[in-house]
Structure 1
Amino acid sequence: MKRRLSVVMRRKVAIGKRLARVPRRCRAPLRGTRGPMTLRYAAWSFVSAMAGLLAISELTILLGHPLLIGSLGASAVLLFGATESPLAQPRNLVGGHVVSAVVAVVVVALLGSTPLSMALAVCTSIFLMNLTHTTHPPGGATALIGVQGAVGPSFVLLPVLTGALILLLVACFTNNVVYHRSYPRHWL
């Protein structure tokens, strides 16, 4: 009993020390280092994102099925505004959205659409994206959107996979048609 109490006390002390370090570990310089941003890069991001999102909108009209969801707008930021980011690469884009969409479908089937199931879908998506090396921040939004909308299995294909693939095709074209960009850095 005494030994058990000692272990509990040591854990409390260790937790207390970690908590005391939090404010110190949050310290950072006011300004970080940034590479220069050119008007050309920013303008091409604008044009490319417009092309990608309009392509999805046009396919929506042709198919008569809504394909444009908020998380694809967030993906456009990465694909056209931060092309070199590891989180913007094809494996992450497609894998992150698909993993998160599948999680949303499973969570809705098992738990319905509640605040708890929404949180569970997002954190499960993060967990699985980390394990599969497909982390794509907009994937968390895909999971949330899916549970909020109480989606079924078709959500994975339309709009998620279709929308991600359209953005990928546009990104491969627009980011390589000009000399100052190159995409992707790697496929897998």
Structure 2
Amino acid sequence: MKRRLSVLMRRNVAIRKRLARVHRRCRAPMRGTRPPMKLQYAAWSFLSAIAGLLAITEVTTLLGHPLLIGSLGASAVLLFGATESPLAQPRNLVGGHLLSAMVAVVVVALFGSTPLSMAFAVATSIFLMNVTHTTHPPGGATALIGVQGAAGPAFVLLPVLTGTLILLTVACFTNNVVYHRSYPRQWL
């Protein structure tokens, strides 16, 4: 009993020490260094994002099924505004969205659409994206959107996979048609 109490007291002290350091670890300079943003890069990001999202809406019209979900807008930021980011590469884009959509479908089937299941779906998506090296932040939004909407299995294909592949196709075109960009850096 004394031994157990001693272990608990040591853990308690260790936790207190870590908590006391939290505020110091959050310190950072008010402003960091940023490379200059060229106007042509920003303008091309603007035009590319319009092209990507309009392409999704055109395919929506052809299929008669809504394909545009909020997380694809977030993916557009990465694909057209941060093309060199590892999080914007095709493996992350497609893998992150697909994993998250599948998680959403499974979570809805098992637990329904509750605040706890929404949090669980996002957390599970983050875990699986980290483990599979497919981290794509908009994937968390895909999981949340899927659980909020009580998504069924079709959610994985329409809108998630279809919308993601349309964005990827547009990104491959718009990011390589100009001399100042190249996408992707790697496929897998």
* TM-score, with length taken from structure 1: 0.99
Match in the other structure for 1:22: 22
Alignment deviations for residues 70-95 of structure 1 (CA, whole Å, 9 cap, x no partner): 00000000000000111000000000
**Is 1:185 the counterpart of 2:185 in the alignment?**
yes
1:33 CA drift (Å): 1.3
- The DSSP-based 3-state class of the residue aligned with 2:150 is coil
Corresponding residue of 1:160: 160
- Sequence identity percentage: 87
Give distance in 1, aligned partners of 2:106 and 2:82: 31
- Write the distance in 2 (CA, Å) between the matches of 1:33 and 1:12: 39
In structure 2, C-alpha distance between the alignment counterparts of 1:86 and 1:35, rounded to whole Å: 18
- Return the alpha-carbon distance in structure 1 between the equivalents of residues 31 and 90 of structure 2: 31
Q: How many pairs align?
A: 188
C-alpha distance in 1 between matches for 2:22 and 2:133: 28
Dislocated runs of 4+, deviation >3 Å: none
- Is 2:137 the counterpart of 1:137? yes
Q: Which residue of 2 aligns with 1:107?
A: 107
Cα deviation 1:7-63 (Å, max 9, x = unaligned)? 000000000000000000000011111111011000000000000000000000000
What does residue 151 of structure 1 align with? 151
Q: CA deviation at 1:3?
A: 0.8
| Inter-partner Cα distance in structure 1 for 2:8 and 2:81 | 49
Q: Distance in 2 between matches of 1:126 and 1:39?
A: 34
Q: What CA distance in whole angstroms lies between the structure 2 residues aligned with 1:108 and 1:14?
A: 39
1: distance between equivalents of 2:172 and 2:17?
49
The answer to whether 1:38 aligns with 2:21 is no
In the alignment, structure 2 segments of 5+ residues that lack a partner are none
* CA distance, structure 2, for counterparts of residue 35 and residue 184 of structure 1: 21
TM-score by length of 2: 0.99
